[in-house]
């Protein structure tokens, strides 16, 4: 991956797409290709002064834990924040995806201050997230808050992966870019605490600690998520399983957080149950728009629901939640993944734009996560470089143009939009929207 031309590529794209903020160009490149950490920039583990990477659902790394060595034992930070430097970056929060071979390296300079280096040249100042007070407390049973209720997006979002595995299992069902099941296995193999099904009482206890110690009030939303449930977990189907956490949270902390759930596109009655349990925002992720790629890369979703039905249910769920509060995700970049993906950026963008238009013309604003080609997944193995940076930059341009064409604004529950303001860390779609937008802080 190390290439002396990466700087030239980045600057060429900044020049060709001046309407995309330079912050978003750097952020997308870091998200798709990862960053390396010098020992001087590692977090010091779970007891240090820096908030460590929690591995909140997928690994989001370019190497397995055994391959990462010191970076795995002496954890990298959850996120970094970039400012200043040769591109004059406004404050930019980036989720950490570790790749020891990346041309981007985080390390301390001669003055001791951390910087981001590209091809050996310092391009930005790096800030690390401080260890939040609530991470210094444990539950009565000794579990850490970070294991039960990690926070991301600079503390904005409590990420509750309450079911650490997916019942789409094996090569014929797992999404071809997803390492949730592998990530669970590797954390168990490393002897780390990594609870498969989180007891609701533990979740409530961890939230209590966060609520008590989040004195800055950074924590605004929670996401209930995990693998798909095709049968039952603990005697509950998917709607009741994820929903019963929401019910307990809303009863204990009414209105304290914006409640979101990531789940399959379920029939309307099940969606209604989510709503009745107190969920405000529903994420029935459609993953990739193109029909053939959905069938090939999301075989479990195709088998259990099917693409057309998935899309129909997304639109049906707007009658329950309201269109603004249905926010399906897609994984930006997998449409260019070999062996079946588009081979030209034009084709990939046209396909994704068709999907954006389909949803946005119905008032639904999708959002996306930048694909990280994790090494244990079929698509990660076949495409260790991920998708071209140009694709990601043009997607940001297309996303914003389509949003504006339909008179829509950024989705609720993602914090502020605009360069220098956004906190959403796993794609730069929020960084590339207008900073003049009002903040859609809560469900609407
Ligand atoms: S539905 Fe797909 S992306 Fe989601 S956890 Fe299961 S395999 Fe992974």
Instruction: Please indicate, yes or no, whether residues 123 and 137 belong to a single structural domain of this protein.
Output: no
* CB of residue 288 inside a 6 A radius of ligand 1: no
pLDDT at 387 over 60: yes
What residues make up the domain containing 30? 6-127
* CB of residue 379 inside a 6 A radius of ligand 1: no
CB 401 within 8 A of CB 433: no
Q: Residue 325 domain-assigned?
A: yes
Q: Write out pLDDT tens, residues 187-205.
A: 888 888 777 899 999 999 9
Instruction: Please indicate, yes or no, whether residues 196 and 81 belong to a single structural domain of this protein.
Output: no
Domain end position, chosen among 97, 127, 157: 127
Assembly ipTM: 0.99
The domain that holds 393 is classified in CATH as 3.20.20.70
CB 204 within 8 A of CB 248: yes
- Please tell me what DSSP assigns to residue 192: -
Instruction: Please indicate, yes or no, whether residues 46 and 176 belong to a single structural domain of this protein.
Output: no
* CB of residue 175 inside a 6 A radius of ligand 1: yes
Ligand 1 atom 8: residue of nearest CA: 178
Average pLDDT over residues 125-142: 96
221 or 442, greater pLDDT:
221
Greatest C-alpha distance within the chain: 61
pLDDT at 138 over 60: yes
pLDDT at 444 over 70: no
- What is the distance in A from the centroid of ligand 1 to the CA of 420? 32
Residue 301: what pLDDT? 97
Instruction: Please indicate, yes or no, whether residues 319 and 367 belong to a single structural domain of this protein.
Output: yes
Instruction: Please indicate, yes or no, whether residues 78 and 106 belong to a single structural domain of this protein.
Output: yes
Instruction: Please indicate, yes or no, whether residues 272 and 317 belong to a single structural domain of this protein.
Output: yes
Instruction: Please indicate, yes or no, whether residues 82 and 68 belong to a single structural domain of this protein.
Output: yes
What is d(CA 372, CA 33) in angstroms, rounded to the nearest whole number?
Answer: 7
**Which ligand 1 atom is at minimum distance from the Cα of 167?**
6
Average pLDDT over residues 54-73: 83
pLDDT at 252 over 80: yes
What is d(CA 282, CA 273) in angstroms, rounded to the nearest whole number?
Answer: 12
Average pLDDT over residues 200-228: 96
Q: Residue 230 domain-assigned?
A: yes
Q: Residue 425 domain-assigned?
A: no
Q: What is the mean pLDDT of the chain?
A: 94
Query: For the chain, what percentages of helix, strand and coil (3-state, to nearest 5) are there?
Result: 35, 15, 45
Adjacency order of strands within the sheet including 221-226: 151-152, 157-163, 221-226, 258-262, 281-283
Q: Residue 118 domain-assigned?
A: yes
* CB of residue 168 inside a 6 A radius of ligand 1: yes
* CB of residue 174 inside a 6 A radius of ligand 1: yes
Least confident of 44-48, 165-169, 216-220, 276-280: 44-48
From the centroid of its chain, how far is CA 53? 13
- What is the distance in A from the centroid of ligand 1 to the CA of 418? 30
pLDDT at 2 over 60: no
Average pLDDT over residues 400-406: 97
- What is the distance in A from the centroid of ligand 1 to the CA of 175? 5
Instruction: Please indicate, yes or no, whether residues 149 and 268 belong to a single structural domain of this protein.
Output: yes
* CB of residue 181 inside a 6 A radius of ligand 1: no
Tell me which H or E stretch contains 89.
strand 89-95
358 burial via Cβ count (<10 Å: 0-12, 13-18, 19+): middle
* CB of residue 156 inside a 6 A radius of ligand 1: no
Q: Write out pLDDT tens, residues 77-125.
A: 999 999 999 999 999 999 999 999 999 999 999 999 999 999 999 999 9
Domain end position, chosen among 127, 149, 177: 127
Q: Residue 91 domain-assigned?
A: yes
What is the band of 47 on the pLDDT scale with cuts at 50, 70, 90? confident
Domain end position, chosen among 77, 103, 127: 127
What is d(CA 101, CA 188) in angstroms, rounded to the nearest whole number?
Answer: 26
* CB of residue 228 inside a 6 A radius of ligand 1: yes
Residue 440: what pLDDT? 59
Residue 438: what pLDDT? 64
Instruction: Please indicate, yes or no, whether residues 222 and 368 belong to a single structural domain of this protein.
Output: yes
Average pLDDT over residues 117-135: 96
Instruction: Please indicate, yes or no, whether residues 107 and 139 belong to a single structural domain of this protein.
Output: no
Q: Residue 442 domain-assigned?
A: no
Instruction: Please indicate, yes or no, whether residues 120 and 211 belong to a single structural domain of this protein.
Output: no
Instruction: Please indicate, yes or no, whether residues 236 and 336 belong to a single structural domain of this protein.
Output: yes
Q: Residue 421 domain-assigned?
A: no
- What is the distance in A from the centroid of ligand 1 to the CA of 174? 6
* CB of residue 227 inside a 6 A radius of ligand 1: yes
- pLDDT above 90: percentage of residues in the chain: 84
pLDDT at 215 over 60: yes
**Structural domain total, the chain:** 2
User: What three-state secondary structure class fits 340?
Assistant: coil
Tell me which H or E stretch contains 6.
helix 6-16
* CB of residue 180 inside a 6 A radius of ligand 1: yes
- What is the distance in A from the centroid of ligand 1 to the CA of 229? 10
Q: Residue 109 domain-assigned?
A: yes
Ligand 1 atom 2: residue of nearest CA: 175
Single out the residue of 359, 351, 276, 377 nearest to residue 310, CA to CA. 359
Give me the half-sphere count of Cα atoms (radius 13 Å) on the Cβ side of residue 80: 28
From the centroid of its chain, how far is CA 361? 25
For tokens 């981007």, the residue is 104
């Amino acid at each position: 991956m190390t290439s002396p031309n990466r700087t030239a590529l980045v600057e060429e794209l900044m020049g060709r797409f001046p309407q995309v903020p330079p912050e978003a160009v750097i952020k997308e490149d870091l998200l798709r290709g990862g960053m390396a950490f010098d020992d001087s920039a590692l977090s010091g583990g779970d007891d240090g002064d820096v908030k460590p990477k929690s591995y909140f659902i997928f690994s989001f790394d370019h190497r397995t834990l055994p391959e990462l060595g010191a970076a795995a034992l002496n954890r990298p930070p959850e996120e970094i924040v970039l400012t200043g430097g040769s591109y004059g970056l406004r404050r930019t929060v980036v989720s950490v995806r570790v790749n020891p071979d990346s041309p981007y390296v985080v390390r301390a300079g001669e003055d001791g201050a951390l910087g981001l280096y590209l091809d050996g040249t310092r391009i930005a100042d790096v800030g690390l997230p401080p260890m939040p007070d609530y991470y210094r407390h444990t539950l009565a049973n000794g579990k850490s808050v970070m294991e039960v209720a990690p926070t991301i997006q600079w503390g904005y979002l409590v990420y509750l992966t309450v079911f650490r595995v997916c019942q789409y299992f094996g090569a014929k069902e797992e999404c071809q870019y997803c390492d949730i099941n592998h990530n669970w296995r590797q954390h168990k193999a490393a002897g780390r605490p990594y609870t498969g099904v989180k007891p609701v009482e533990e979740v409530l206890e961890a939230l209590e600690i966060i609520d008590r110690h989040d004195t800055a009030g950074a924590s605004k939303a929670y996401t209930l998520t995990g693998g798909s449930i095709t049968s039952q977990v603990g005697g509950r189907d998917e709607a009741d399983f994820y929903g019963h956490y929401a019910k307990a949270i809303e009863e204990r902390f009414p209105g304290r957080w914006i409640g979101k759930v990531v789940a399959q596109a379920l029939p309307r009655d099940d969606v209604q149950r989510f709503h009745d349990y107190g969920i405000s925002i529903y994420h029935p992720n459609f993953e990739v728009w193109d029909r053939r790629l959905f069938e090939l890369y999301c075989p479990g979703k195709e088998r259990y629901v099917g693409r057309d039905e998935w899309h129909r249910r997304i639109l049906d769920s707007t009658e329950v939640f309201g269109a603004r509060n249905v926010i399906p995700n897609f994984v930006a970049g997998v449409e260019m993944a070999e062996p079946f993906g588009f081979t030209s950026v034009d084709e990939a963008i046209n396909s994704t734009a068709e999907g954006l238009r389909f949803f946005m013309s119905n008032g639904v604003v999708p959002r996306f996560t930048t694909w990280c080609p994790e090494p244990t997944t079929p698509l990660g193995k076949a495409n260790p470089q991920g998708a071209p940076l140009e694709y990601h930059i043009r997607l940001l341009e297309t996303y914003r143009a389509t949003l504006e064409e339909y008179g829509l604004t950024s989705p609720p529950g993602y914090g502020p939009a605009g360069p220098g303001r956004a906190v959403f860390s796993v794609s730069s779609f929020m960084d590339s929207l207008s900073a003049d937008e009002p903040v859609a802080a809560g469900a609407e």
